[in-house]
Structure 1
Amino acid sequence: MLSTILFLAVGLSSVNAASRSSFPAICTNSTLLIDSLDVLTTAQECTEIDGDLVIQYASDYPTAIEFPNLRSVFGSFLSINFNQDISVTRLSAPNLTAVGSDLYISRWVNLTTINMPVLTAVNRVRLNHLPALTSANFLSTLESIENNYEVTNTSLKEIKNDRLPYAVFVEIFDNKELEKLELTALTNASYNIALRRNKPGVEVSLPALKEVFYFELQRISGLEIPELESAIGHFIVNDSTVESLEAPKLQSVGLWYDPSISITNNRGLIIQNSGSLKSLSFPALEAVQLDLVIRNNSELQDISFPALKRVTGNIGLEGTFESLNFPELEKVGGIFSLGNDEAGFSCTELQGFKTNGTIRGAFSCPEYQELPARNSSQGSSKNEVEDWLKWTSPSTGFGSLRSTSAVVFAICISGVLLVL
């Protein structure tokens, strides 16, 4: 029996070695540089590429570039910084399942299609300056990303994925035709989820998301985040047509961790410049690190944070709302500024927060006072945190929100930034 097993093992090894020996030699290069049709033709025989696959401009490429046999690239799959008007409209690797490092395609100005229908694993995805791109099917098949999920300047109408549970960055910028972003399996984004300068009115669905560091959405018309519990850095919605914002499980925006190792451009909870916004619902929100700002949302009539206890920085509210509700508010570390032109609006109850010491800084109502500029240096942040902790009593302070996981995360993310 043992001899049979050894025979089979040796046989399989020999078959694999023979298969590898049939590869063109360029498949084992540390960098397989494709810069002509001749090299492309040879590379199309590769089933595996040991190093990086790099495509450079060549005038004799066909309109469709295909790697019909390619199953894995152990390094990066790169094609960036074409200065010429490359004529290629289709890039295809129908059997590619894994890319060990980056998949980075940039500046193919006529590329309409990226066909990689079975790609499931990659370290980082970056699609950049592909203004004609309307199809990239691998965006929906990916199951594992160690770092970035970036889609910038394309003509994609939808970005959907129901398999990907984690990414460091999710950055969706400058996509002029984008109407929908659905990442239904994503539970954690350890650096950010950001949408900026896309087609106005993007619908965003993140039904499994529980934790994110920076959360910044612009030009959205809808947002689904029923499971979100923590935005470790900040939560921002700006310049949008969304009518309702609901975060039923969001408990905190900003967590305390060692400010000497943390990223310090947290901005707090900011919702502004969204003229269609009619309702807010943050029923579980207890704490906001840095500022709470709600401004220039002309349809918003009522503001209620029924569980909010602590705001480290400032509160800035401006609009024509009819009612405000902060029944549990205990500490505001900065100023409380409220601007309201609604006839008959009374500041009396809010004035009580200043009288009883809840508001540490100045109180302004109904005239809006601009919030003070914030110094984002780490030293300044550390001083502000220490000053806040001295002012706040141990029983009600943000100190109770500290956690080992938050400290560990801050250390890890600092390491990621150093690597980048």
Structure 2
Amino acid sequence: MSFVKYLLPALAASQLAFASDSCGDTTISTQSDADALDSCTTVSGDIKIKSSFSGTLTLNGVEKISGSLTGSNCTALTGIIAPSLVTITDSFTLSEATLVTELSFSELTTVGEINWEALPALQSLTFPAGVTDAGDVIITNTGLTSLDGISLETVGKFQITDNTNLKTININNLKNATDLVNFAGNWNKLEIEFPNLATASNMTFRNISSVSMPSLEKLKGQLGFWGTEFKSFSAPNLTTTADLTFNDNSALTNISMPVLKTVKGGFVVSRNDKLADIDLPELETVTGAIDFSGTFDTLSMGALEEVDGGFNVQSTNGTFSCTTFKKMQGDGVIRGTYNCKATTPDPTTSNGKSGTSSSSTSSGTSATSSGAASSLAIPATGIAAFFFAFAQFL
């Protein structure tokens, strides 16, 4: 009797240990490997899909992965279905899965990081619950036409690049982005809407046709637009940003930032040949340089009190006048190197690059003071650094 007394707890413990082992790190080569997890509500470890897996992978019963779900070079994988999965604690990473057409996660709401690269056959997501919580989201070179199912409220990095079928992005719930937001190389008619985004860190945009950020108030880092096709940019509530750049936006006719007060860095406007009037009625402080060049008629900055870096403003237009800014220099508002030219046939940026897309002139680099336009190259990583550097050579 005493033997049974001790045997039963021992058996129970051994069964618990066995169950724990079977619900830990798992490598999936076939559907049978996945079926072995059917009784695991929680997988306490990583699930790795082997590159040899063929067909659609189904994960039944698993509600939480306390680790990562990963697959690399899975060239025969066609889809992943996980009807009960709610949480992936670490990363959801797929790369070089060229035949994947389906990602169906009915209950998924929380992911530590999404990192998808080279999924050209994937056109849509089946995430009906909506992923509302993700640390970073990096989606590169997919066939996605929208990001429906990505319903973030906050995000770290948000990098959406080289998705040439991506036509619309509406992240209705996003209120805060704590790291780089970068859009580049997607469909050139891409329309982006961030209706509730109030604060962000760094935001860079290329190859888009429109962007809406009506609630944006503050950026800790840069806000930059290069080579876009939008006609108008409006940030009605933006008061503060770091480096601010509008470069080579061929269709841009209007910039509206009526309450912008502070640029904590450099402010560049160049090669926007259809931009006729620039009005910044509340701008008071620029801690770096002002570097505007182009074909604009008017430039109004009546509230300007302090420019700590250089001041380079050049326009081809005969109606533009430097008189107001010359007085600002004399009054000590402009504290760095001063260079203002009206009716110049070949306007240039402070580093000697052409200020209009119609001009090929590139004079020698002009002198800049501390905090001048060269300070705009703030540290960035990955593809954002490439595009920022590329833009400087346009």
| Aligned partner letter, 1:103 | F
Distance 2:21 2:164 in 1: 39
Q: Does 1:55 align with 2:49?
A: yes
SS at match of 2:33: helix
Q: Which residue of 1 aligns with 2:388?
A: none
Q: Which residue of 2 aligns with 1:93?
A: 82
Structure 1 counterpart of 2:349, from 370, 375, 391: 370
Q: Does 1:272 align with 2:247?
A: yes
Q: Which residue of 1 aligns with 2:111?
A: 122
> How far off is 1:200 after superposition?
0.6
Distance 1:22 1:38 in 2: 21
| Aligned partner letter, 2:340 | S
> How far off is 1:274 after superposition?
1.0
Query: Which consecutive unaligned segments of at least 5 residues does structure 2 have?
Result: 1-8, 353-368, 372-394
Distance 1:180 1:314 in 2: 35
Q: Which residue of 2 aligns with 1:198?
A: 186
Q: Which residue of 2 aligns with 1:159?
A: 147
Distance 2:319 2:270 in 1: 20
Distance 2:331 2:228 in 1: 37
Distance 2:28 2:137 in 1: 25
Instruction: Provide, for residues 52-78 of structure 1, a one-character-per-residue CA deviation record: whole Å limited to 9, x for no partner.
Output: 1111112xx442111122221111111
> How far off is 1:291 after superposition?
0.9
In structure 2, relative to structure 1, the CA distance for the partners of 1:282 and 1:52 (3 Å cut) is same
Q: Which moved more, 1:351-360 or 1:148-157?
A: 351-360
> How far off is 1:369 after superposition?
4.8
Q: Does 1:75 align with 2:67?
A: yes
Structure 2 counterpart of 1:320, from 295, 315, 340: 295
Instruction: Provide, for residues 196-241 of structure 1, a one-character-per-residue CA deviation record: whole Å limited to 9, x for no partner.
Output: 1111121110011010010111111111111101011111111111
In structure 2, relative to structure 1, the CA distance for the partners of 1:45 and 1:134 (3 Å cut) is farther
| Aligned partner letter, 1:132 | A
Q: Does 1:103 align with 2:92?
A: yes
Instruction: Provide, for residues 77-122 of structure 1, a one-character-per-residue CA deviation record: whole Å limited to 9, x for no partner.
Output: 1112x2x6x2222111111111111111111011111111210111
> How far off is 1:47 after superposition?
3.4
The answer to whether the 8 Å contact 2:257/2:280 transfers is yes
Q: Which residue of 2 aligns with 1:223?
A: 211
More helix by share: 1
- Report the identity percentage: 25
Distance 1:161 1:43 in 2: 26
> How far off is 1:351 after superposition?
1.9
Distance 1:199 1:163 in 2: 21
Distance 1:139 1:271 in 2: 37
Q: Does 1:27 align with 2:25?
A: no
Structure 2 counterpart of 1:338, from 304, 313, 325: 313
Q: Does 1:65 align with 2:49?
A: no
Q: Does 1:289 align with 2:268?
A: no
> How far off is 1:24 after superposition?
6.1
Q: Which residue of 2 aligns with 1:232?
A: 220
Distance 2:286 2:100 in 1: 48
Q: Does 1:241 align with 2:229?
A: yes
Q: Which residue of 1 aligns with 2:363?
A: none
> How far off is 1:25 after superposition?
6.3
In structure 2, relative to structure 1, the CA distance for the partners of 1:344 and 1:327 (3 Å cut) is closer
Q: Which moved more, 1:328-337 or 1:205-214?
A: 328-337
Q: Which moved more, 1:235-244 or 1:354-363?
A: 354-363
Distance 1:62 1:41 in 2: 15
Q: Which residue of 2 aligns with 1:414?
A: none
> How far off is 1:137 after superposition?
2.4
| Aligned partner letter, 2:261 | E
Distance 2:231 2:128 in 1: 29
Distance 1:347 1:246 in 2: 26
> How far off is 1:332 after superposition?
1.1
Q: Does 1:183 align with 2:171?
A: yes
The answer to whether the 8 Å contact 2:107/2:129 transfers is no
> What is the aligned-residue RMSD (CA, Å)?
2.6
In structure 2, relative to structure 1, the CA distance for the partners of 1:302 and 1:126 (3 Å cut) is same
Distance 2:275 2:349 in 1: 20
| Aligned partner letter, 1:28 | C
SS at match of 1:33: strand
Q: Which moved more, 1:309-318 or 1:33-42?
A: 33-42
Q: Which moved more, 1:95-104 or 1:338-347?
A: 338-347
SS at match of 1:227: coil
> How far off is 1:248 after superposition?
0.6
In structure 2, relative to structure 1, the CA distance for the partners of 1:23 and 1:221 (3 Å cut) is farther
Distance 2:287 2:341 in 1: 20
The answer to whether the 8 Å contact 1:27/1:48 transfers is no
The answer to whether the 8 Å contact 1:140/1:160 transfers is no
| Aligned partner letter, 1:342 | N
Report the count of equivalent residues. Answer: 341
Distance 2:351 2:295 in 1: 23
In structure 2, relative to structure 1, the CA distance for the partners of 1:302 and 1:23 (3 Å cut) is farther
| Aligned partner letter, 2:152 | L
> How far off is 1:41 after superposition?
4.0
